[in-house]
A = this chain, B = another copy of it.
Amino acid sequence: RRARPVREVLFFPSRPCCIEALLAEAAEPGAPARPCPCPLPSGDTALSRLVRRLLSARRSLDLCLFSFSCPQLARAVQLLHRRGVRVRLVTDAQYMGLHGSQIGRLRHAGIQVRHDQHSGYMHHKFAIVDRRTLITGSLNWTTQAIQSNRENVLVVEDAEYVKAFQDEFERIWEEYNPANYSFF
């Protein structure tokens, strides 16, 4: 589909930006744009690029995220789920219940979520779009990290890297299967 594999680096903090137009276009492609009343610009930022990459999913989105509390990213993920993309989400048990976590909301929307039951952290922060595009780095999916921290995110379409992360995702997904809970 694409001539050259994507190879991109996003650095944060990102300038605050409005992603309503991106979400609206993804929800209803081709619909007339309705201007958003919020005062934020809708320019090209690290956040808008990250959202665009996620919204490009057509078949699957595998998420392996230590901390997920950014409402904008949660809306993008919910939108993909509603659109029929198979979303699977692995997260950290200690962080999923913290104030502002979006995990409950995503579960409520019907998205499959699994978590560890160990004392160590599930500290990955990666996403795989359509088993082809790896999005990984230092960035937790929190508004604080996006707007305030120095962070990096790589976008990688190299098959070797993608396979390594996809295999790790499948290992974790199986290991965290609730059927295996020991309730110790």
Contacts and interface: CB of A to CB of B under 8 A. Distances in A.
Which of under 10, 10 to 19, 20 to 34, or 35 or more describes the interface residues of A? 35 or more
A44 to B, nearest CB: 16
B150 A172 contact: yes
A82 to B, nearest CB: 29
B151 A124 contact: yes
A39 to B, nearest CB: 22
Given A148-B120, A168-B11, A125 B138 contact: yes
Given A7-B160, A161-B9, A168-B11, A124 B136 contact: no
A118 B149 CA distance: 9
Contacts of A158: 7
A165 interface: yes
B152 A168 contact: yes
A124 B150 contact: yes
Contacts of A145: 121, 123
A129 to B, nearest CB: 17
A13 B96 CA distance: 21
Nearest to A90: B150
Contacts of A7: 158, 160-161
Contacts of A27: none
Interface string A136-179: 11110000110111111010001011001100100010000000
Interface of A: 7, 9, 11, 13, 66, 116, 118-126, 136-139, 144-145, 147-152, 154, 158, 160-161, 164-165, 168, 172
**8 A-B pairs closest in CB distance:** A120-B148, A9-B164, A123-B149, A121-B149, A122-B150, A120-B149, A123-B151, A123-B138
